[in-house]
Amino acid sequence: MTNKVYPMRVERDQRGNNIYKYTKPFYFSNMGTIKYEYLIASYAFSYAMSFSEEGHHRRTRSGGSKSRKNVEVFCDAFIGKLGEFAVYQYFKDNGVLLNYPDVSIMGQGEWDSYDFIYKGRKIGAKTTKSIGNLLLLETKDWNQNAQYIPNLKTGNADYDDMLFVRVDSNIVSNLKEKKLYYNNEIDIDILEEEFKKGTYQFDISHVPIDTIKLAIQNKLIINKNDYLQSLDTKMDAQNYYIQSLDMFQINGYINTLKGIK
């Protein structure tokens, strides 16, 4: 396995805006459909974390200035949890039984640790929509050793691997079209209707921790207030990035895990 990471191309428009363009994209390739029982678990978790009194997700990203509304928080939590269940399901179907994704409801100031631990190997999962081609890691959350800074004091900062998951769900675009995405409140019947419309296919790639370290060392950074692909997507925080074609096929990683004694 050879680690290489390539920078995106930066274009500057007439107004001086920096627009970052993919140079190494690997477009979505359906690897399966998330089972209904996992969809329900993801929905219930995300609803509680965004709309209930006991749940709490950060409204502002590290280094960000934009405060997310409850519907945004729901969508981010929902897609993130779907990604974890996609990993759990796919690995289980291919002979590797990971721990069941955490669906406990955490309050303000509580942080979870690793998404998965398999025979001592610490694994994170980062999920985005099917059109995504970047693993994004907020620079204020990660140090030069690729340790997750918020968990340094708890001893849960060191990862062995990251998984990049893409989920084909149109819930965000549909809610934006209905002008509901940036709201704090939403009719539960409308939310459930949008939930039922999804197809929930997924794909998964493997990102070794050495690849993340290389991206950090090479300063592969997209800055706050710069743009991704077009002026439609403005970055709210500074992020390290890894392009999807610089990642590795998941089946090779599964075989590696099977070989761990």
Q: Is residue 111's pLDDT more than 90?
A: no
Q: Which residues of 227-251 are buried (b: 16+ CB within 10 A; e: fewer)?
A: bbeeeeeebbbbbbbbbbebbbebe
Rounded Cα–Cα distance for residues 30 and 168 (Å): 9
| Angle at the Cα of 65 from the Cα atoms of 62 and 69, rounded to 5 degrees | 95
Q: Is residue 118's pLDDT more than 50?
A: yes
Q: Residue 167 pairs with which residues in a beta bridge?
A: 129, 202
Q: What is the mean pLDDT of residues 10-22?
A: 97
Average pLDDT, the chain: 92
Residue-wise pLDDT tens digits, 46-71: 999 999 866 554 444 455 456 789 99
The pTM for the full model equals 0.91
Q: Is residue 46 classed as helix, strand or coil in its secondary structure?
A: helix
Rounded Cα–Cα distance for residues 89 and 204 (Å): 11
> What amino acid is encoded at 73 in this protein?
V
Rounded Cα–Cα distance for residues 215 and 164 (Å): 15
**Sign of the alpha-carbon torsion through 225, 230, 231, 236:** negative
Q: Would you place residue 36 in the very low, low, confident or very high pLDDT band (cuts 50, 70, 90)?
A: very high
Counting residues of the chain whose pLDDT is more than 90, the rounded percentage is 85
Task: Give pLDDT, residue 228.
Answer: 98
Task: Give pLDDT, residue 108.
Answer: 52
Compute the half-sphere exposure of residue 123: CA atoms within 13 Å on the CB side of its CA. Answer: 26
Rounded Cα–Cα distance for residues 39 and 78 (Å): 9
Q: What is the mean pLDDT of residues 128-154?
A: 96
Q: What number of other Cβ atoms are within 10 A of residue 151's Cβ?
A: 17
Q: What is the mean pLDDT of residues 68-79?
A: 94
Residue-wise pLDDT tens digits, 245-261: 999 999 999 999 999 86
Q: What is the mean pLDDT of residues 73-78?
A: 95
Task: Give pLDDT, residue 52.
Answer: 81
C-alpha Rg value of the chain to the nearest Å:
18
Rounded Cα–Cα distance for residues 86 and 192 (Å): 20
Residue-wise pLDDT tens digits, 171-226: 999 999 999 999 999 999 999 999 999 899 999 999 999 999 999 999 999 999 99
Q: Is residue 157's pLDDT more than 50?
A: yes
Cβ atoms of residues 191 and 43 within 8 Å: no
The token pair that represents 32 in the structure block: 């399966």
Q: What is the mean pLDDT of residues 82-92?
A: 98
| Angle at the Cα of 80 from the Cα atoms of 169 and 138, rounded to 5 degrees | 120
Q: Is residue 110's pLDDT more than 60?
A: no
